[in-house]
Chain A
Amino acid sequence: MQTVVFTEAFFFLCLIMSYIYLAYSTGFEPHDLSKLDIGTSGIYTALLIISSFTLHLAERGYDRGNTRALKAWLIITLILGAIFLIGQGREYAHLIQEKITLESSVFGASFFTLTGFHGLHVFIGLIILSIMLVLAFLGDFNRPAPAGSESPGGPPPGGGALGAIAIYWHFVDIVWVVVFTVVYVLPQFTNI
């Protein structure tokens, strides 16, 4: 999973660089940026960051063999992630009402692509988390540790499905922090 995150990080790096590159190009209209509501998005951002901590608590619950804590924190993580996606949907709807679309301008194109790909990753994360949750209710995590392993060498330390999805989820959150900083926060301080 670390290698997946490694390659995904480069993917987002390229999208973010495209955004910044285009932000300095002539076709970029600064007044588009003013349509973004940093306050509301900030709240959703905070919720997404909190979901990283709740997932960590779920992992802690699993480590202690406390399956109930695992399930509860997984549900809370899922809800927080879903709220974030709903928030993103509301923001998109608002922007489209303001006639900012993929076709309208360079800002629209790069904004929707960047945040859209991130949203897709959140969505994929939610699907994987739901699978974890179903597995948890089916009792797959009841044992304190999975007994026996498929490979003769044993799974890599820190591996296991839950650990891997946690790495992915934290990564998606961190990407959002960077995206939020670049798209929402930095324009408050600069004149682009």
Chain B
Amino acid sequence: MGTTIKIPEPSAPFPGLGVENAQGLLQWISAVDHKIIGVMYLLTSVVFLVLGGVLALLMRVQLAIPMNHFLHPEVFNQFFTMHGTTMIFFVAMPAIFGFAVYFIPLMIGANEMAFPRLNAFGFWLTFFGGLLLYFSFVAGGAPDAGWFNYAPLNERNYSYNHGIDYFAIGLLVSGIGSVATSINIIVTVLHYRVPGMALNKLPLFVWMIFVNSFLLLAAFPALNAALAELLLDRELNAHFFNTAGGGSALLWQHLFWIFGHPEVYIVILPAFAIYSEVFQVFSRKPIFGYAFVAASSVAIALLSFGVWAHHMFAVGLGDTVNSFFGASSMLIAIPTGVKIFNWIATMWGGKIHFSVAMLFAISFLIEFTIGGLTGVAFAMFPIDWQLTDTYYVVAHMHYVFIGGVISGMLAGLFYWFPKITGKYLDEKAGKWFFWLFVIGFNGTFLIQHVLGMIGMPRRVYTYPNLPWYGVLNFTSTFFAFVMGFSILLLVFIMRRAMRHGTPAGPDPWNAYTLEWATRTSPPPLKNFEDLPAVTSRRAWWDMKQQAVNPHPQTKNDDPI
């Protein structure tokens, strides 16, 4: 028998991470508590955000002036591939799951996820999937065929080093983790709600993550199947995507985008979910049109499977196919527009409190609308033919990803940080961060629309000194560094808040949903001792109003 290591039981919901003390670290590694796993997801996301951000800044340095020789073209290819892959699979996804596994049990009045060990398994698969992907840098070269990794570029005769293999295995591993966590979320929501919380009384955050989990379950198998076939091609000389061997390079595009387009909704729906909570609480009004917000999520989820070929207009599928997918893509704007108007109507006549979370939510409305409008423009395929693979695409997708997803995660961070750590994030410094981030982001990407329209292709490592190219690119690089600096500021703000932040009570925002009903912030290890049955959609608010408040100390908290 070997020596047995005593696995520590977690002693606190947010234990210290003492490296000098092995038990402190072990407590995190062996954790199955949904709160600790949620925090680990969020930390993973922050680490990869910094990595992916550094890659982006290095690319912007290369592109700052015409005919630059800062990065080798091959390295540039690896960087944009890794940047895209990291940001989508290892920043957005872990952030989503972090908020989901932390707050779903709390919001539905449960003490734990349905399968705590599966929860830990899902996290560690995501984490090690990310490590595998980054290991490619030391194993002979990172993947370099773009985040969508088109055939035949991804085949062995075009990408001989092992980068693509690490890409495929890393995404397979983390994909399985995502599927496991989604199953966990669905079962938790279906079986562990507090009495009285019918499905039509679920908080909207839970509703949308719930819908999103089904979307994920349906979309990820397509990626996994494609990756399995790619690995067979590369390792065992099969011929799925190898046209020389009779395969079809287009098959990869179909399979990838059957996954890929739902995937962009998989990352945006949780952001919508966060906004739906933030708008309510900081407008001091219940959501306008609860049923419409929930139902439009379902509509988006279903429609998202019928639009994948709009990524392939330039392939030459024919006018009939292009028209169908153009029309279906425009249809998606309807449920999304419904949501935008619901949020605006929620703010209408409300007593708006401009906290940092709310500022991010409002900036989202504007930025995402810009991203949405350029998206609808793309759905008209003649415009797509003109603009595909230019910086216009880059600008479009960064407006929806940063303006939509990342802003949502940041809104969630500022909204829930007091609950997760028990400390406020400094609102004043937070506003500095907000403005730097928004100015940096818009400065970087707004002008890229113009760059795309005057014809600059994406994914080129340098460009000749054509009129306007130099000055626009330099401006873009400058503002990218403003954004990069703002992220540094955010890390600093978070660090300072954890050390000497103002303690937040259990319910600092005088909020509506049950996660604020726990006795303390951070919530005790056992979330709830007993909860009365829920009677409405704003369960915690009504409990406070009816003075059946199980934790009287929260009454003294100042309403915002």
Query: How long is the Cα–Cα vector from A182 to B467 in the complex, in angstroms?
Result: 57
- Complex interface: chain A residues within 8 A of B247 (CB): 22, 25, 27, 106, 109
For the side of the interface on B, what is the size category?
35 or more
Q: Is B491 among interface residues, defined by CB-CB distance under 8 A?
A: no
Given the contacts A4-B183, A6-B218, A25-B247, A18 and B237 also touching, CB distance less than 8 Å: no
Task: Let me know if B436 is at the binding interface, CB within 8 A.
Answer: no
Q: How far is the CA of A15 from the CA of B258 in the complex (A)?
A: 13
- Taking a contact as CB atoms under 8 Å apart, the answer to whether B187 and A11 are in contact is no
A189 at the interface (CB under 8 A from B): no
A115 at the interface (CB under 8 A from B): no
Is the CB–CB distance between A15 and B225 below 8 Å?
yes
Check B225 against A14 for contact (C-beta < 8 Å). yes
Residues of B within 8 A of A109 (CB): 229, 232-233, 238-240, 247
Complex Cα–Cα for A153 and B109 (A): 12
Asked if A25 contacts B225 (CB within 8 A), the reply is: no
Q: Which of A98-120 contact B (CB under 8 A)?
A: 102-103, 105-106, 108-110, 112-113, 117
Are the C-beta atoms of A22 and B225 separated by less than 8 Å? no
| The one of A22, A28, A117 that contacts B240, using a Cβ cutoff of 8 Å | A22
Q: Do residues A18 and B229 form an inter-chain contact, with CB atoms below 8 A?
A: yes
CA distance A8 to B221 in the complex (A): 7
List, in ascending order, chain A residues with CB within 8 A of B239's CB.
27, 103, 105-106, 109
Q: Taking the complex as formed, is B224 at the interface, i.e. its CB lies under 8 A from any CB of chain A?
A: yes
Q: Does B255 contact A (CB under 8 A)?
A: yes
Q: Which of A13, A21, A108, A153 lies in contact with B251, CB distance below 8 A?
A: A21
B237-279 interface bits toward A, Cβ cutoff 8 Å, 1 = contact, 0 = none:
1111000011110010011001000000000000000000000
- B459 CB to nearest A CB, Å: 27
**CB–CB A26/B225 < 8 A:** no
Give chain A nearest CB distance to B91 CB in angstroms: 23
Contact A11 B186, beta carbon cutoff 8 Å: no
Within 8 A of A (CB), among B178-215: 179, 182-183, 186-187, 190-192, 214
Residues of B within 8 A of A26 (CB): 246
A28 to B248: give the CA distance in the assembly, Å. Answer: 11
The distance from the CB of B195 to the nearest CB of chain A, in whole angstroms, is 10
**In whole angstroms, what is the CA distance A106 to B238 when docked?**
7
Alpha-carbon gap, A97 to B179, bound state (A): 39
Asked whether A102 lies within 8 Å of B232 as measured between CB atoms, the reply is yes
In the bound complex, do residue A7 and residue B232 qualify as a contact, i.e. CB atoms below 8 Å apart? Answer: no
Is A7 within 8 A of B228, CB to CB?
no
Interface contact A10-B218, CB-CB below 8 Å: yes
Q: A4-B183, A21-B254, A113-B229 are in contact. Are A11 and B245 (CB under 8 A)?
A: no
Chain A positions within 8 Å of B218 at CB level: 6-7, 10
Contact of A191 with B by CB under 8 A: no
Most B C-beta atoms less than 10 A away, residue of A6, A105, A106 = A106
The reply to whether the CB of A190 lies closer than 8 angstroms to some CB of chain B is no
Contact residues of A between 123 and 158, Cβ < 8 Å to B: 151, 153, 156
Shortest CB distance A110–B (Å): 7
Among A3, A28, A156, find the residue whose CB has the most chain B CB atoms closer than 10 A: A3
Which of A7, A13, A103 is in CB contact (< 8 Å) with B220?
Answer: A7
A14 touches B222 (CB 8 A): yes
**Which residues of B lie under 8 Å from residue A21 when comparing CB positions?**
248, 251, 254
Please pick, from A3, A18, A153, the residue contacting B217 in the complex, using a CB distance under 8 A: A3
Measured between beta carbons, the chain A residues less than 8 angstroms from B192 are: 151, 153
**How far is the CB of B193 from the nearest CB of chain A, in Å?**
9
Inter-subunit contact B251/A105 (CB<8 Å): no
Query: Do the beta carbons of B221 and A10 come within 8 Å of each other?
Result: yes
A179 to chain B, nearest CB (A): 14
Q: Which residue of B lies closest to A16 (CB)?
A: B225
- CB-CB contacts below 8 Å: B494-530 with A: none
Contact assessment for B221 and A106 in the assembled complex, using a CB-CB cutoff below 8 Å: no
* Shortest distance from the beta carbon of A188 to any chain B beta carbon, whole Å: 23
Which residue from B182, B214, B246 sits with its C-beta under 8 Å from A27? B246
Of B182, B191, B221, the contact of A153 (CB 8 Å cutoff):
B191
Q: Please pick, from A3, A6, A103, A151, the residue contacting B238 in the complex, using a CB distance under 8 A.
A: A103
Verify B237–A11 contact, CB threshold 8 A. no
Instruction: Sample 16 A-B pairs with CB under 8 A, ordered by A number.
Output: A3-B182, A3-B217, A7-B220, A7-B221, A11-B225, A14-B225, A14-B255, A21-B248, A21-B251, A22-B240, A25-B248, A27-B246, A106-B239, A109-B238, A113-B240, A156-B190
Q: Which 8 A-B pairs have the closest CB atoms?
A: A27-B246, A11-B221, A109-B238, A14-B225, A10-B221, A7-B217, A103-B237, A106-B246
Chain A residues engaging chain B, CB cutoff 8 angstroms: 3-4, 6-8, 10-11, 13-15, 18, 21-22, 25-28, 102-103, 105-106, 108-110, 112-113, 117, 151, 153, 156
A113-B240, A156-B187 are known; give 18 further A-B pairs, CB within 8 A: A3-B182, A6-B218, A7-B220, A7-B221, A14-B221, A14-B258, A18-B225, A22-B247, A22-B248, A22-B251, A27-B246, A102-B236, A102-B238, A105-B246, A106-B245, A109-B232, A113-B229, A117-B228
